[in-house]
Structure 1
Amino acid sequence: MERGDWVARYLRRIGFEGEPKPDEATLARLHRAHMLSVPFENLNIPLGFPVETTLETLFDKVVVGRRGGFCYELNHLFGHLLKTLGFKVDLLSAGVWSQGRFGPPFDHLLLAVHLADQRFIADVGFGDSFREPFPILGEARDSLGVAYRVNRRGETLVLQQQKPDAPWVDQYRFTLEPQTIDAFQPMCRYHQSSPESSFTRRCICTMATADGRTTLANGRLIRTTAGTRTETPIVSEADFRAVLAEHFCVELPAEVSLTPLRSINEPSPKA
């Protein structure tokens, strides 16, 4: 596929209008457009389809097929778009904070984008996260009042999030050493196959909205709008398909049974 056609189709996919330039304003617009258009989701894993990280496969899935993905997919593809547009981009390794500790290296893939004499942290593959990049070792606050910052902790950097009237919470720690996509393959295989991975134990599809977030998880549609949260149980396969199509523009083939998605999303019994 010609470079111009590849870029044009990607930009249409995320609803980006205008002429992209390798500058801070364009980076912010591209990142925000991606967060509002492409869901963070792991549907292929419980459905038994392998997660592949070649650029051709990712383009077919995310752009042509209008699907989403997780970090190894979304940030790798978005990073390539940025490089194609003239940005200098590094793939970075991170360990995600979970259950009182940080995960191992390559647990998460994020991006560092070089602009003038600064590096910006960019990440369209972490679900509920910042909507626009900001300078590494800087701080940002989005329109919904959620703050983000990166601070140095020993030899690593730590991304933190602070929701309104709440304390700062660690998200992941990372280093600035550039990596290749091949270095992430062992952890990518782990997250789609190990019973210890959260991605094999639950199904999630989530996407930012202009005034909040919409999430399908644990057998419920969860919508947060201007700080107000509502939950709706998803009972049937037809309802599951309707929710994916209406809220995430995801349409899975009719011949693919969604039973694995529904069973893995069964709500836990209340005590």
Structure 2
Amino acid sequence: MTDEVTRDGLTVGAVADVAGVTVRTLHHWDEIGLARPSGRTPSGYRLYTQSDLDRIDRVLAYRESGLGLDTIRALLDDASPEVGAILREQRAQLAERIGELQRVDERLARMSQAHERGILLTDAEQIATFGNDWDPEQSQTARTLWGRTTQWAQFAERSASRSRADWQRLSDAMRDMQAALANAMDSGVEPGTQEAGELVERHRELFSTFFTLTRHMQVCLARMFEEDPGFASYYNGLTPGLASWFRQIVDEAARAHGIDPDTATWQ
């Protein structure tokens, strides 16, 4: 019976199908006086007339705009003389929400691009920011090697919010860091000393702006700087022997924190 159409109107099941809502919703609307059926069958089932359906259509339209049920009931029952003002206010709220969603969409777009590209600067901007020796393809190489790691995800998500000025500040900080390392080595700073330890910590903190770099991971990174021909060539180009010296000061700092650098893993 609840899914049938009668001569006197539609049953609650039929209205639910037409309106695209649940029977439970129609029962609730009836209980709170929002959209009540005009009739009943001899068995006591609700029956909705065309006028009832018109009211339900209005309820659905107002609800889709984001209005609450109490406000909708007031509008339909003409309890509020400021219908136009209420609707204008709702439009203003919707416009604000649309703006928020657009900003979220833009943020998601940048995050998606950053996961694919790493650094959201043009090739020319990268070279201008990081120097003439910088190869813009390095980001793609890094993604190929580490694109499925937590660290790449952190790097990309932080990259998404960085402007060119942000990258310039980080690039300058990295150059200063590398110059400090080269100067310390040339000045005879020994691994295991306080000065060497402070440089290691400075390096770890700077790298942690890209992704969280633990002391274990820093040992692995220093190992790679020494063993990888490309990294070793770059660091040794700053001052001969820097790649090996840097690994030594990182290893000694790790030992000072109870870490065996020979068994350290990327964790």
TM-score class, shorter-chain normalisation, is under 0.3
Judging by fraction of residues, say which structure has more strand: 1
- Tell me the TM-score normalized by structure 1: 0.23
TM-score under structure 2 normalisation? 0.23
Quick check: which one's helix share is greater? 2
